[in-house]
Structure 1
């Protein structure tokens, strides 16, 4: 067994024992029974509550080289009352990819983070996860990239929009320089999620719908996060040069606040001009539509989905 794997199993053994020791029989609805020599649940009690064999669980806690499935680790996590961070640690020690619970609503970030986003106005700002999903955004960001707010939450992904929007309607001017770096950063983060259904389906979808993404993905390049200048074009006001900066969020693994600061004073004025347009155009001059029209269409579609079925 490689030294790194051996060390991980030793840590797994110690971790399971420590989590078991903190759970009392009363915590899981069991009678306290006779006096115990050590605190917490016994191994056989964890095995019984998790629905696994006593021998198998004993070997798992001893760090023996056995295979643990997602279902079994979930059952053990439930018995040991592990939170999301603790579950992720258990999965990593067991050598199993951990499927992160998706953040589907802005409220899941907490009012503090949402307050920071709004306080950053007029600077565009948003919260991305490692897949470039737009989890939350402020008013100026939504003016620059309204289609990440008008669609369903699962469709609010920066990379998907950049690779599937027609070139004439794309607002990203220097995409030839920036997209290879963004895909390389995505691949770097993908390394922590290989085999997870949400990531695999996302990558497969992009490969299937964008030949350019498929080409860049096939390169196998990886890159670290960093500050980059992104050039955007709006049909009514022209170019805006913005520098992107990422800030990590405590308690939100793989989520980051991304702010876009104007490169020059003129770029700051451009943002103000955009904010002053009553009903800005979305898309190119030929195919674009007013934001109010797109918003009304999105609301109608949402209402139709929520309406009860006839009969």
Structure 2
């Protein structure tokens, strides 16, 4: 019978399980006659600032689909992790929640080790507003990230405001248009006004091309896969096959990997890395 209930109402089963795992005493709800672990339904409702009746209906599979705002409140009330929050939205609405933008997001040591395990493959991690938060030595050798000042460690500023970066792109306009269309989608995820608005205003004021591309159309694209041509001042022309990967549990981050397209390109990257001075980041 319990299995049937779980299959018929997975959202209710998940909510009941999560509230049962909370420490009522630590949250100030300890008292006599608590015969079951965790929080009571009315206590979760109180923490979420919703009615106890509505929360009870959710656990019972009644009352229709909840709103995203209600699920956000419940996620906070139940102290869910990002993975648990995503699971809650998938059960309740059939889709993941909008990612939470974290300014200055840092990567874990494990993720940095993943980057460093690719010695001849430039790779980096960026935020939804295209700030660089981690990269490997190959990316430093090819793109010069170690030498960049903190304010220059933003891909959009480099493409639209840095003449050296622009000169390194054989087909700058195509690259710039792609970047704007991908950033448009990321900016919406990040929170256009609250988190990306300042960067957008800066770029529109300082780059006529960005301003024109931003206003020209409303196309949005995924970063996807492709081959990037790059003019390096030492290695000459490089061909790099790129792909974008989501960072599990960190929806505000993505990893971009540039794999040398040919063995000749790989040899060039290895030579650049070998010539790179040791820098402690």
TM > 0.5: yes
Match of 2:131 in 1: 133
2:251 and 2:98 map into 1 onto residues whose CA distance is: 15
Separation (CA, whole Å) in 2 of partners of 1:228 and 1:115: 25
2:162 to 162, 165, 168: 165
Please give the alpha-carbon distance, in whole angstroms, between the structure 2 residues aligned to 1:39 and 1:155. 52
Candidates 174, 180, 183, aligned match of 1:183: 180
Q: Aligned partners of 1:196 and 1:120: how far apart in 2?
A: 36
Q: Under a length normalisation based on structure 1, what TM-score does the superposition of the two structures give? A: 0.66
Task: Give the count of matched residue pairs.
Answer: 263
Correspondence list, 1:97-108, <5 A: 99-102=100-103, 104-105=105-106, 108=107
Distance 1:238 1:67, change over 3 A: closer
Does the aligned pair in 1 maintain the 2:82–2:249 contact within 8 Å? no
Give, in whole Å, the separation in 1 of the partners of 2:72 and 2:10: 16
Q: Give 3-state SS (helix, strand or coil) of 1:28's partner.
A: coil
Over 3 Å counting, the alpha-carbon distance change for 1:205 and 1:87 in structure 2 is farther
Task: Verify the 8 A CA contact 1:185 1:225 in the aligned structure 2.
Answer: yes
SS at match of 1:25: coil
Contact 1:97 1:195 in 2 (8 A): no
Where structure 1 has 5 or more consecutive residues not aligned to the other structure, the ranges are 1-9, 280-291, 300-311
Counterpart residue number, 2:243:
245
Counterpart secondary structure, 1:241: strand
1:168 Cα deviation (Å)?
A: 7.7
Q: Deviation of residue 221 (structure 1)?
A: 0.8
In the other structure, the counterpart of 1:83 is 81
The alpha-carbon deviation at position 11 of structure 1 amounts to 8.7
Is the 1:206–1:213 Cα contact (8 Å) retained in structure 2? yes
Matching residue within 233, 236, 241 for 2:234: 236
Could you tell me how far apart the structure 1 residues matched to 2:57 and 2:42 are? 14
| Structure with greater contact order relative to length (CA < 8 Å, sep ≥ 6) | 2
Q: Kindly state the Cα deviation for residue 123 of structure 1 after the two structures are TM-superposed.
A: 1.9
Residue number in structure 1 paired with 2:266: 268
| Alpha-carbon distance in 2 for matches of 1:96, 1:249 | 15
Matched with 1:20 is 19
**Residues 132-179 of structure 1: CA distance to partner in whole angstroms, max 9, x if unpaired?**
322211112112222476322x65221221111126864222222222
| Match of residue 6 from structure 2 | none
**1:143 and 1:27, CA in 2 relative to 1: closer, same or farther beyond 3 A?**
same
State the Cα deviation string for residues 256-281 of structure 1 (Å, max 9, x = none). 332222233432333244335467xx
Is the contact made by 1:91 and 1:97 (CA closer than 8 Å) also made in structure 2?
A: no
Do the aligned partners of 1:149 and 1:156 also contact (CA within 8 Å) in 2?
no
Distance in 2 separating the partners of 1:56 and 1:202: 40
- Separation in 2, partners of 1:11, 1:149: 51
- Summarize deviations over 1:22-41 as a string: whole Å, max 9, x none: 334224133242145x6532
**5+ unaligned residues in a row in structure 2: which ranges?**
1-8
Which residue number corresponds to residue 227 of structure 1? 225
Deviation at 1:98, TM superposition (A): 5.3
TM-score by length of 2: 0.72
What's the offset of the Cα at 1:97? 5.5
